[in-house]
Amino acid sequence: MRNHFKIMLSAILLGYCGSVAKAESELLQRVRADYAALSQAMTEFDRARTAGELGAAEEVDFIGWVEQLVQQVHQGCRALELESDEPVPVDLPCDKFIVGSPEPIGIDISAERSREENTAAMLDQLHSALSKFDEQLLQEQEKIKAQTPRDDSAHEVASAQESMGEAGEAESAAAESEQTDSERAETDAATQASGEEGDEEGDEQKEQHTASGAQSTIGSPDQSESRGIPDDVPDGSDDDVVARQLREAAEKETDPELKKKLWEEYKRYKAGTG
Amino acid sequence: MGRVQTLQSRYRVNLIVQILRNLFTALIVGVLIAGCATTNVSRSVPPEVTLDKAITELPEEQLLDVWIELFDPGELPEKEKEALGLYPEIRAAEARFMPAHLRQVMEKTGYWGAVRVVPRDTEGAEVLVGGVIKVSDGKTLEIEITAQDATGRRWFKRRYAHNINDVGNKPKNQDEDSFEPVYYDIANDLAEFRTSLTDEELTRVRQIAEMRFAADMLPDGFGDHLQMDDQGNYMLVRLPAEDDPAYRRVQIIRDRDFQLIDTLNGYYENFYRDLEIPYQEWRKARNIEAEALREAKRKAASRKALGALAILGAIAIEVLGSSNTRATTRTARDVMILGGAYSIKKGMDISSESNIHRAAIEELGESFVSEARPLVIEVEGETLELKGSAEAQYKQWRELMRKIYASETGLEPVARGTY
């Protein structure tokens, strides 16, 4: 009876140990399989990239697959370390996968990306930062505009027009630069970012074009009689650069209120310099 | 014997007259010195200065952008009576107001590209103008101006002073800033120096400003495009290719930098507009009160001196005069003593009137401070916040530009701070 009990106990213990060993073995096998797949994937990736066989989309897929395998090996190694007191077999370089971060030492994924990929990602980041900055400046300008009284002198109206012009020019230059051939050759992401920026620029340019379009119609020689020069305005023969600019702006302005203010500013300026 | 007495008597009268004459001369000289001592200025800007304007429109490539730094507020006068009614808060407001006014004056000349006010120590100017307020009390304005361009070339360092109480210095136009000649003179000197530069030099200034920005933004790519000589002047080694993508990106960022400066100027313009009227009024009122104070002091001093002189004269006749003289001048001496006493009392009354002017000057200063302080705090807060935020952005962009450049060229990034 006592012998039977011993035999049963031994069997249970053996069974338990066996099941633990089996589970550990399965985990080990899985990690080995993952590691083998990772090594194979990396070898194949290097070969295909060197041979120029990879398209952009395929390359991204490949990198994703390698990253997934690295994660699996890392998790497997971590589980092995936790569940077993035995050292990890030497053919499995778990120490490289566990120490520090989950990223394997010696396998830098970003380095494995193509240079163009990296550049594109960073350009995307730069464009996005520039867009955010533009938004911030726009908000600040709105704030400033809100602080400026509406009935301010025509001088400020003229200044505002001038700065709008400058901003437009700057944006146009930026847009031109953004849309050159070599920039266009950059990645889809960068192009998208540029596009977004371009849309904003486009909107601003539209506003500017609307204003200048109106000016060109009024400023045409056929309609010079309808310039609406007030009687008390001097003939302008002795105008300096600033006075001439003010006069031209006043002559070309279509908004009667703004036109009046510009003429007042012109007269004030002439009185001050005369 | 009688003749001798007569001679002695004449001699004494002559002596008294001589003493009185000397005292009077000393008094006049004293009053004149007191009056003139406060009007002395080392270098005076003449009132007839007119603003020099470009006769023809200058080509765009010859227009230099000017950045005027917020002025250094300088020190208030050490003497208590000179610092009366002046406060650091007023100087802080003036340090922002004056560059904004100079900007407006310079914009009228047609000699410059964009003229902007910038916080101090802002990098990237083609021409950088700085100023220190030496004296500003409503009556006298004295500023030290320095100007240099992007190559490091010092244009000049000069002091400009103007006293509106000097003869002929009152502004003819009521709307005009009382110290307009100072601003005109500064603008004229800047224009004169600019005109002395050749087209090639002007172009070089612009190129170096651009390359300094590029080198700051991307030292790995553009740090070696410039060289600095042992005198701290920048020299252009080479220019990047027009189609260099890194250079184009730098230009895009520089456009943002200009827009940032424009936005900051929006705040400074609002500040200028809000402060203009209270500031002009304060200066005008302070000057009127200060002038009244000086006048009262002068009057009080001269009344007291004349009174003392009359009493002294009467005493002198009493002491030194013969019995005949004493007898004949009795009434006159009484009048001199009474008149002298009255004059001294009048002088003391006027002195107390001075206190009223003194109090008025202080009150004017305090009142203006209460108007200016919130405006200064507001503009300082807004501009600092914006500039601080932009600087954080620039730091991020520099890092990105550096990485992009390394990625594009395959070159190892140079350690930061090598340029």
B57: chain A residues, CB-CB within 8 Å: 241
A181 located within any domain: no
Write the DSSP assignment of B335-401 as a string of letters: HHHHHHHHHHHHHHHHHHHHHHHHHHHHHHHHHHHHHHHHHHHHHHHHHHHHHHHHHHHHHHHHHHH
Going by their DSSP bridges, the two strands B140-149 and B154-163 should be labelled as antiparallel
Look at A242 and B110 and tell me if their CB atoms are within 8 Å.
yes
Per-residue pLDDT of chain B (419 residues; tens, 9 = 90+): 455 555 556 656 565 666 566 655 655 554 444 443 333 344 578 877 899 999 888 998 889 999 999 999 999 998 888 888 899 999 999 999 999 999 999 999 999 999 999 999 888 899 999 999 999 988 899 999 999 999 999 999 999 999 887 656 666 565 567 789 999 999 999 999 999 999 999 999 999 999 999 999 999 999 999 999 988 899 999 999 988 999 999 999 999 999 999 999 999 999 999 999 999 889 888 888 888 888 888 888 888 888 888 888 888 887 887 778 777 878 888 888 888 888 888 888 777 778 888 888 888 999 999 989 999 999 999 898 898 889 888 998 999 999 999 888 877 666 544 44
- Among the partner residues A130, A183, A272, nearest to B245 by beta-carbon distance: A183
ipTM exceeds 0.85:
no
B390: chain A residues, CB-CB within 8 Å: 133
Min Cα–Cα distance to chain B from A174, Å: 5
Q: Is A180 part of the contact surface with chain B (CB cutoff 8 Å)?
A: yes
A263 located within any domain: yes
Residue pLDDT, tens place only, A91-115: 777 777 665 444 444 555 555 567 7
A121 located within any domain: no
Min Cα–Cα distance to chain B from A80, Å: 38
Q: Chain-centre distance of CA A59, in angstroms?
A: 22
B389: chain A residues, CB-CB within 8 Å: 136
A66 located within any domain: yes
Give SS3 for B154: strand
Reading the block at residue A83, the tokens are 């569940």
A175 located within any domain: no
**pLDDT value for B10:** 64
Q: Chain A residue closest to B175 (CA)?
A: A272
Residue pLDDT, tens place only, A118-128: 888 889 889 98
**pLDDT value for A111:** 58
A60 located within any domain: yes
Task: Centre a 10 Å sphere on the Cβ of residue B22 and count the other Cβ atoms it contains.
Answer: 10
**Among A98, A113, A128, where does a domain finish?**
A113
Min Cα–Cα distance to chain A from B298, Å: 37
A251 located within any domain: yes
HSE of B347, CA atoms in CB hemisphere, 13 A: 17
A165 located within any domain: no
Q: Chain-centre distance of CA B51, in angstroms?
A: 18
Torsion, Cα A175 A181 A185 A190, to 10 degrees, reads: 0
Q: How far apart are CA B371 and CA B369, in angstroms?
A: 5
Instruction: Tally the domains of chain A.
Output: 2
Comparing CA positions, the residue from B265, B99, B126 lying closest to residue A167 is B265
**pLDDT value for B415:** 53
Which range, A8-17, A150-159, A211-220, B266-275, is most confident? B266-275
**Among A97, A113, A129, where does a domain finish?**
A113
Is residue A71 within 8 Å of A38, Cβ to Cβ? no
- Among the partner residues B256, B266, B267, nearest to A133 by beta-carbon distance: B256
Going by their DSSP bridges, the two strands B127-136 and B64-69 should be labelled as parallel
**Among A74, A91, A113, where does a domain finish?**
A113
B112: chain A residues, CB-CB within 8 Å: none
Can you give the pTM of this predicted structure? 0.59
**Residues of chain B whose C-beta is under 8 A from some C-beta in A?**
51, 53-57, 107-108, 110, 114, 173, 175-176, 243, 245, 248-249, 251-253, 255-256, 258-260, 262-263, 266-267, 269-270, 273, 386, 389-390, 393, 396-397, 400-401, 403-404, 407-408, 410
User: In which domain, by residue range, is A244 found?
Assistant: 221-274
